[in-house]
Amino acid sequence: AQSVTQLGSHVSVSEGALVLLRCNYSSSVPPYLFWYVQYPNQGLQLLLKYTTGATLVKGINGFEAEFKKSETSFHLTKPSAHMSDAAEYFCAVSKGGGSNYKLTFGKGTLLTVNP
C-alpha cells in the first residue's frame, strides 16, 4: 500500500519568507508525484509534477519541488512567499500495480501568509 504524509497541517510564514511544505511517501516502486493547490472555495489545480528525469521540477507561481528517492520525499518550496500563495496544498502519488486508477493524497497543508 502507498501512503502520503504531509508534515504540518498548518504552516504560517511572513510575506517574503521561504515557503517549505513537506511531503513524504511510501512506495515500493518509483512513483509519479504531484502537488496540487486549492484556493478558498475552489477546486484543486495542478501546481507541479514529477514523472521521470530531472529530480528538481518547477511549477506555476514560482514553486518548485525536489524528488529525493533516498529520502522518499517530495518537498515543495518557494523562495519568497506572496500573499496570494495563501491556500491549501496537497501532495499526491500515483503508481502502477493494483492502484493504477487512484491517486493517494496527503491530508493537506494550509499555508497562511502574514503581511
Partner 1 sequence: NAGVTQTPKFQVLKTGQSMTLQCAQDMNHNSMYWYRQDPGMGLRLIYYSASEGTTDKGEVPNGYNVSRLNKREFSLRLESAAPSQTSVYFCASSELQGAYNEQFFGPGTRLTVL
Please report, as ranges, the residues that interact with partner 1 according to CB under 8 A: 9, 31-32, 34, 36, 41-46, 49, 51, 90, 94-97, 100-103, 105-108
Q: Least distance to partner 1 from the beta carbon of 69, Å?
A: 16
Question: Is residue 24 packed enough to be buried (19+ CB in 10 Å), middle (13-18) or exposed (0-12)?
Answer: middle
With respect to partner 1, which residue has the nearer C-beta, 14 or 26? Answer: 26
With respect to partner 1, which residue has the nearer C-beta, 74 or 90? Answer: 90
With respect to partner 1, which residue has the nearer C-beta, 92 or 113? Answer: 92
List the one residue out of 92, 109, 66, 82 whose CA is nearest residue 18: 82
The three three-digit cell numbers of residue 95, written as one number = 503508481
Q: Least distance to partner 1 from the beta carbon of 20, Å?
A: 20
Q: Least distance to partner 1 from the beta carbon of 47, Å?
A: 12
Whole-Å CA distances, 92 to 18, 48, 108: 22, 11, 10
C-beta neighbour count of 1 within 10 angstroms: 8
